[in-house]
Structure 1
Amino acid sequence: MKIIILGAGRIGQSAAESLVSEQNDITVIDTDGKRLRELQERLDLRGVVGNGIDPQVLAEAGARDTDLLIACAAQDETNLVCCKLAQMLFGVPTRIARVRAQAYEDGSELLSKEGFAVDHILCPENSLMRYIGKLVEFPEALQVREFAGGRACLVSSRARAGAPAVGQAIADLRQRMPEVAMRIVAIYRRFADEPDRFVPCDGSTHIEPGDEVFVLAGRQRIAQVLAALHRPQGQPVRPVRRVMIAGGGEVSERLALELAQEAGRFHVKVVEEDAERCIALASRLPEGVLLLQGSGSDEDLLIEEGIEEVDLFVALSDDDEDNIMACLLAKRLGARRVLALINRHAYADLVHGTHIDIALTPAQAMLGELLAYVRRGDVQAVHSLRRGVAEALEIVVRGDRKSSRVVGRRVQDLALPPAVHIGLIVRGLPDPDAPPLAEGEIAPPTPGEPEIIIPRSHTVLQSNDHVVFFLPNKRLVREVEQLFRVSATFF
C-alpha cells in the first residue's frame, strides 16, 4: 500500500516505523529537513521537505496514486486542509487526520466529503484516556483490548503466586473453570538478565508466577479471568477509588474530567508544577477534583497527600524522565499501581517488567486505529501488542463455501501458519453488509444475543463470524489476511 504521512513528530514517526515494517511504500512530509533526514537514516522511506497544504508538495510526494493519507502534523487546521486537498485535487481514497479539538467526531457533517473530507479522526489524547479508563475498570489488568464492539476482550495480567490458575496446566484450568469460556493465547515469561520471552501455549503449558498472561474471553467473564490469575482464592477485588495524576496536560485534564463524571466514585488529585497551567485547570476542572501545584516527583508532597493510599498513580507529563522517576518514587512510597506515559520506545522497553507496572506510549494506544485501515480484507479491529512485535486481529468471515477458503470449514482444516491460532469467535452480530430486503420480502426474526465461542478443532466457521486471532509475530498477518480474503474465482 502506498501511504503519505504528514508530520514527522512522535505520532508520525511511530506510524511510519510500524507501517514500514509491513513493507508499505511510505512517504513522509515535514517542514523540518533535519528531522526527515534522521528518519530516512533509520527507516526505509522517502522524505519530502515542505508544507502539506501546498498542492505542489503533495504532488511531489506522489499523492496522485496514493492509497492512504495520514495527516498528523502539530496543527489541527493543517491536517484538515491537507485531507481536503488530497480529496479534491488528487482523489486519495482514504484520509485520516489527527485532530485534538473535541468538536470534530467521526460521522460529523464537518468531516463529510462536502466538508473536510476526513474518513477517520485520530485523537491520541482520547485514545490514551480510553486506554487508562479500561485499567481503572479492571484494576488487575495490564491492558484491556476490545473486539466485536466491546463484547469480547483480550486482557493481559501478571500471574501472582497463590492465585487459583497459577501453577496449573492450561488443560487442567479448563476443567477447573468449565463455566468460564476463555482461551489463553500467549504467555511471556521472565528470565534472569533477559527480556520477557514468548512461550507457546498448549494444554501442557503451566502458568508460573511472574508470567504475563494474555487471555481472550467474553467481556462478562473478564473479572473472573483476572481473579484466577492475580488474586488468591476468596480475596476480594480492590477497586480503584483514589487516583493521583502527575502532570496537568491535555490528557490529564480529559482523564480527570472523565473520572469526575461519576460523582463520589473517585477521589482524584492532579499535581501540576506550572502556576499558569494550574490557574487554567482550576477554571475547567470540577470541584470534586483536587488540584495541587507541585512536582509529581516531590517526595514530601506525595507523602503529605497520602500516596500510600493511592490505588492508581498516573504520570502523564511531557517529560519521559520525570514520569519514570515519579512512578518509581510513588511505587516505593506505597502506591498500589503506577502507570508512566513514555514517548520513547527505548525507554518503554527499559522500564517494562520493573517496579513500574505499566509503561504506556501514545502510539501504543492509538496505532491499532491506523492499522485497521491498512489491513487487507474485512478487518474490524487491530491492536498492536508487546511494543509492536505481536498483534491481535479481528476479521469478519465473508462469502460462501465457493468464494471463501474458510466458510464451512472446520478450524483444524484451515491452512493457518503453525504459530497462529484462532482465539475466539463472536457469532450472531448484525451484518451491515447484508443486502437490503426486496419489496414485499419479510424480514427474518431478530436474533438473540451474539454468542461467544471458544473454538475447538471441529468448530465450523460461518459467514459473518467475527474471528479474533493472537499473532506472536506481526509478520504472520499477511498469511492470515490472504486466507480469509474472498475470491470470486476460488472453487
Structure 2
Amino acid sequence: MKIIILGAGRVGESVAESLVSEQNDITVIDQDPARLRLLEERLDLRGVVGNGIQPSVLAEAGARDADMVIACAAADEANLVVCKVAHDVFNVPTTIARLRSPEFVEGHDLLGKSGFAVDNVICPEESVTRYIHQLISYPEALQVLEFADGRASLIVVRATAGSALVDHTIGECRDRFPHAEMRVVALYRQDTEVETTPQTRILPGDEVFVLADAERIRMVLGAMHSADKPVQRLMIAGGGKVGLRLARSLAGQCEVKLIEQDKRRCEYLASQLPSNMLILHGDGADEDLLLEENVGDMDLFLALTSDDEDNIMSAMLAKRLGARRVLSLINRRAYADMMQGSTIDIAISPSQAVIGELLTHLRRGDVVAVHSLRRGAAEALEGVARGDAKTSKLVGRRVEDIRLPKGARIGAIVRGQGRGSQVLMPHHDTLIETDDHIIIFIPHKRLVREVEKLFLVGATFFG
C-alpha cells in the first residue's frame, strides 16, 4: 500500500517503522528536516519537508495515488485538516487521524465525509489507559487482549514456581484443568521461542501466551501464576494526559495517589479529580517522598511522565522500596525492549499500543482485529471465514487441511454471536464453518501476508 504519514514524532516514527517492515510504500511529512533525515537514514522511506495541511505538500508526497493518509501530528486541528484536504482534494480512500480530544469520537457526524472526512480515530493516550486498566483488573498478567467482542482473550503471563501448571507439560493442561479449556499458542524462554508441542514442559520464568474463553481468564491465570491479590492501592508518577485519564477512570475503584512535579499542573489536577484523591507536588524519583507516602504498601506503581529516563528511574526506585508491582511508560522502543521483565515488571510503549488498531485497517480480507505482540515482532490476528467451500480457503475445511505458513497456528475459534456464541479450542479435525471468527498467532510479521490471503474470498478456490 502507498501510505502518507503526517508527523515524524514518536507516534509517527513508530507507525512508520512498523509499516515499512511490511513492504509498504511510506512517505513521511514533517516540518523538521533534521528529524526526517534521521528517519530516512534508518528506514526505507521518503521524507517530505513542509506543512502537511497545504495541498502542494500533500501533492509532493504523492497524495494523488495514495491509498491511505495517517495524520499523527501533535495538534488535533492539523490532523483534522489534513484528512479533510486528503479526501476532498485528492480523493484518498482511507484517512486516519490521531485525536487527543475526547469530543471527537469515531462515527461522530463531525468526522463524517461531509465533515472532516476522518474514517478512523486513534488516540494513544486512550489506548494506553485501556491497556493499563486490563493490567489492573488482572494483576498477574503481562498483557490481556480481547477478541470477538470480548468473548475470547489472549493472556500473556510469566509462569511462577509453585503454580498448578508449572513443571507440567502442555499436554497435561487439559487433564489438570478440564473446566478451563485453554490453548498455549506460544512460549518464550529467556527471550527465545520454544516449540509448543504436547510434550513441552512449562518452566518457572517462561513467558506463556494462552488463548481462552474470556470467562475463564482468572482460572487460567491462577494455573500459570501464583495468585496476586487485587489492586487496591495505587501510586501514579506523572499527571499528564495519560496520568489524568487513568486517575479519573479509577475514581471510586481503588485508593490513588498522584505525584506531579509542576505546581500549576497540580492545581489543575486537583480541580479535575475527586477531593479524596491525593495530589502530591513533587518528583516521582524522590526517595524521601516515596518513603513518606508509603510506596512499599502499594499494589501497583505506575511511572507515566513524558520522560523515559524519569519513568525508568522512578519505577526501579519504587520496586526497590517495596512496591509489589511496577509499570513504566517508555516511548523509545529500544528502552522498552531492554527494561521489560527486568526490575520493571511491565514496560508499555504508547505508540505500540495503537499499532494494532492501525494494522486492522491495513489487513486484507475480512480481518476484524489485530494485536501487536512481542514489541511488534509478532501478531495475533482475528479474521472471519466468509463464503463457502468453493470460494473460501477456510470454510468447509478441517484445521489440519488449512495451509498455514510455518510457525503460524490457530489458537481459538469463536462460533455464533452474542450470548449464544461458543469459544472452541480447535483440534486437527475441527471443521471451519461460515462466519467463524478464527484467531491466529503469527510469530513473525513476515508471515502476515500469507495468513491474510486465507480470509480473502475468491471466485473459486481449488485444493
TM-score by length of 2: 0.98
Letter of the structure 1 residue corresponding to residue 287 of structure 2: E
Provide, for residues 42-62 of structure 1, a one-character-per-residue CA deviation record: whole Å limited to 9, x for no partner: 000011111111001111111
- Indicate the residue corresponding to 1:412 in structure 2: 400
- Conservation of the 8 A alpha-carbon contact between 2:367 and 2:455: no
Three-state SS of the structure 2 residue aligned to 1:419 is coil
- Indicate the residue corresponding to 2:31 in structure 1: 31
Distance 2:276 2:417 in 1: 40
- Indicate the residue corresponding to 2:223 in structure 1: 228
Find out whether 1:272 has 2:263 as its counterpart.
Answer: no
- Indicate the residue corresponding to 1:42 in structure 2: 42
**Once the 2 structures are TM-superposed, how far is the Cα of residue 367 of structure 1 from its aligned partner?**
0.7
Distance 2:404 2:394 in 1: 10
Find out whether 1:247 has 2:201 as its counterpart.
Answer: no
RMSD between aligned residues: 1.0
Gapped regions of structure 1 (runs ≥ 5): 191-195, 431-447
Equivalent position to 1:322, from 310, 313, 327: 310
Gapped regions of structure 2 (runs ≥ 5): none
**Once the 2 structures are TM-superposed, how far is the Cα of residue 468 of structure 1 from its aligned partner?**
0.4
Provide, for residues 259-289 of structure 1, a one-character-per-residue CA deviation record: whole Å limited to 9, x for no partner: 00xx2x3000100111111111111111131
- Indicate the residue corresponding to 1:256 in structure 2: 247
- Indicate the residue corresponding to 1:304 in structure 2: 292
**Once the 2 structures are TM-superposed, how far is the Cα of residue 172 of structure 1 from its aligned partner?**
1.0
Letter of the structure 2 residue corresponding to residue 245 of structure 1: I
- Indicate the residue corresponding to 2:328 in structure 1: 340
Equivalent position to 1:475, from 441, 446, 458: 446
- Indicate the residue corresponding to 2:160 in structure 1: 160
Q: Which moved more, 1:276-285 or 1:407-416?
A: 276-285
- The equivalences for 1:1-16 within 5 A come to 1-16=1-16
- Conservation of the 8 A alpha-carbon contact between 1:5 and 1:16: yes
- Count of matched residue positions in the alignment of Structure 1 and Structure 2: 462
Find out whether 1:466 has 2:437 as its counterpart.
Answer: yes
- Indicate the residue corresponding to 2:455 in structure 1: 484
Provide, for residues 286-330 of structure 1, a one-character-per-residue CA deviation record: whole Å limited to 9, x for no partner: 113110011111111111111111011000001111100101110
Q: Which moved more, 1:477-486 or 1:108-117?
A: 477-486
Letter of the structure 2 residue corresponding to residue 400 of structure 1: D
Find out whether 1:366 has 2:354 as its counterpart.
Answer: yes
**Once the 2 structures are TM-superposed, how far is the Cα of residue 353 of structure 1 from its aligned partner?**
2.1
- Indicate the residue corresponding to 1:287 in structure 2: 275
- Indicate the residue corresponding to 1:352 in structure 2: 340
Distance 1:483 1:283 in 2: 53
- Indicate the residue corresponding to 2:151 in structure 1: 151
- Conservation of the 8 A alpha-carbon contact between 1:429 and 1:464: no
- Which 4+ residue blocks in structure 1 deviate beyond 2 angstroms? none
Find out whether 1:205 has 2:200 as its counterpart.
Answer: yes
Letter of the structure 2 residue corresponding to residue 165 of structure 1: L
Distance 2:277 2:117 in 1: 38
Distance 2:98 2:357 in 1: 11
Three-state SS of the structure 2 residue aligned to 1:425 is strand
- Indicate the residue corresponding to 1:214 in structure 2: 209
Letter of the structure 2 residue corresponding to residue 166 of structure 1: V
Distance 2:276 2:85 in 1: 45
Find out whether 1:451 has 2:422 as its counterpart.
Answer: yes
Provide, for residues 153-187 of structure 1, a one-character-per-residue CA deviation record: whole Å limited to 9, x for no partner: 11111110000010000001211111112101111
**Once the 2 structures are TM-superposed, how far is the Cα of residue 449 of structure 1 from its aligned partner?**
1.4
Instruction: Give % identity.
Output: 61
- Conservation of the 8 A alpha-carbon contact between 2:319 and 2:325: yes
Provide, for residues 372-414 of structure 1, a one-character-per-residue CA deviation record: whole Å limited to 9, x for no partner: 0111111111111111111110011111111111110000011
Three-state SS of the structure 2 residue aligned to 1:202 is coil
- Indicate the residue corresponding to 1:434 in structure 2: none
**Once the 2 structures are TM-superposed, how far is the Cα of residue 237 of structure 1 from its aligned partner?**
4.3
Find out whether 1:174 has 2:169 as its counterpart.
Answer: no
Find out whether 1:65 has 2:37 as its counterpart.
Answer: no
- Conservation of the 8 A alpha-carbon contact between 2:72 and 2:98: yes
**Once the 2 structures are TM-superposed, how far is the Cα of residue 484 of structure 1 from its aligned partner?**
2.4
